[in-house]
Amino acid sequence: MSDKTRSIHGEWSSRFAFILAATGSAVGLGNIWKFPYITGQNGGGAFVMVYLACVAAIGIPIMIAEIMLGRRGRQSPINTMQSLSAEAGADPRWHYLGWLGMIAGFLILAYYSVIAGWAMAYIFKAFFGGFFGTDAGEVKAIFDGLMASPIQQLFWHTLFMIVTMQVVMRGVQGGLEKAVRFLMPALFVILMILVAYAMSSGAYEQGIEFLFSPDFSKIDADAVLTAMGHAFFTLSLGMGAIMVYGSYLPGHVSIAKTTFFIAGADTIVALLAGIAIFPLVFANNLEAAAGPGLIFQTLPLAFGHMGGGWLFGVLFFVLLFFAALTSSISLIEPAVAWLVENKEIERHRACVWAGSACWALGVAVVFSFNIWSGHKWFDKNLFELLDYLTANLMLPIGGLCIALFAGWTMRQTDTEQELELPEQGFQVWQFLIKYVAPVSVFLVFLHVLGVL
């Protein structure tokens, strides 16, 4: 692939910078918050093995395709799909795939920012000893108090959005790249410190056995579909983020090799999070299948009763904040890039517009936990509705369409030119993107709709 075109927004300075940025986008609350609790709910080791198989067979081929589309188009996802469909002589309505991804990322950030705000609040609660010596009822009361307070949540949501937009405002190399060059190494260092701490908890072997000793009797169809869905969602696919990051990738960089690095790093972070968390859970006789409350209600209880728990509680929630920030800057980038390209405004103004709109929707999400908690749509509050619409509907549709466009609509000569794979490697990818990935994602989608 030649460097015949460049994005007007700039490029990553190196392949390593792109790997850090895309890994940062993929590594988020899904790795630190969601992966441990769904592993706990689905029996541990066997679920992990199914999840890893799904990353290899579904996640990696779709990520290769999404990065390829981004680099070929060199624009925001909407304009990229518009130009690529014209290049392929395809239906111009393919540009709606770009809209779907951009809107999904925008909606996700609106509630993601609120959860990230909780992590920021817990950094300070842990720092000032808020969990020291507490029992389960007191820890639950702390979390319930945060949920019931619109003022507290608004403060942290607003602060997180300001930090996110300050990074994005500085551009590709000056903002996104500088941030991930600090945040990603820091995230790995903190995670390794927490793993070392877990090794001294007295239940390290029990935690490792739970994660890596498979008992396939605990695996059913629901567990397989959950693993498939999480493998897809944790890689930030279908939300425009990876596509827009791919548009900043220099033409000489191998997309396939880079994707393997990103997927590998993302998976390692998820596994390390499990290695850090489950020994603490077992050492304190807590429930591994505690669900979404594992991070904000179960772990604070563990930190409050362990030697050094104050320091490691602070480090854990700093880790959660860093993971959220590396994802949030990628979620808003497609909207910012589109505003710059289509409205011909400067980047900082585009950030203010996009960030303000996202913040305003986030305010409504905050209210859905307290003063608007009685307002339901399809028996869900606004937070639950946005989470359901994006994770369970918009992202699977986006991933399915990416696979179909890359596998069936783009000219094979164009995909070969972009990927520059050996013939056998290209044939494997083509088989996965044409058949395995679409069918698998479609099955997930049917399961979400209750058909399967």
401 class by beta-carbon count within 10 Å (0-12 exposed, 13-18 middle, 19+ buried): buried
pLDDT band at 387 (very low <50, low <70, confident <90, very high): confident
Per-residue pLDDT, 218: 81
Per-residue pLDDT, 232: 75
- Most confidently predicted of 4-13, 146-155, 209-218, 302-311: 146-155
Evaluate if residue 451 carries a pLDDT over 80: no
- The residue that leads in pLDDT, 5 or 221, is 221
DSSP string, 392-445: IIIHHHHHHHHHHIIIIIS-HHHHHHHH---HHHHHHHHHIIIIIHHHHHHHHH
Coil, strand or helix: which one is 377? Answer: strand
Q: Token match 């359901």: residue?
A: 388
- The residue that leads in pLDDT, 444 or 183, is 183
- Condensed to tens digits (0 to 9), the pLDDT of residues 228-258 reads 778 877 888 889 999 999 999 999 999 999 9
* Separation CA 72–CA 341 (nearest Å): 16
- The residue that leads in pLDDT, 48 or 451, is 48
Evaluate if residue 2 carries a pLDDT over 70: no
Per-residue pLDDT, 1: 45
Per-residue pLDDT, 291: 66
Evaluate if residue 288 carries a pLDDT over 70: yes
Coil, strand or helix: which one is 449? Answer: coil
Q: Residues near 336 by Cβ (< 8 Å), separated by ≥ 6?
A: 168, 347, 350, 351, 354
- Condensed to tens digits (0 to 9), the pLDDT of residues 346-376 reads 999 999 999 999 999 999 999 999 999 888 9
Q: What is the mean pLDDT of residues 323-343?
A: 94
pTM, whole model, 2 decimals?
0.92
Q: Which fold has domain 15-448?
A: Amino acid/polyamine transporter I (1.20.1740)
Evaluate if residue 392 carries a pLDDT over 80: no
Phi, psi of 377 (to 5 degrees): -125, 125
Evaluate if residue 411 carries a pLDDT over 90: yes
Q: What is the mean pLDDT of residues 160-172?
A: 94
Per-residue pLDDT, 4: 52
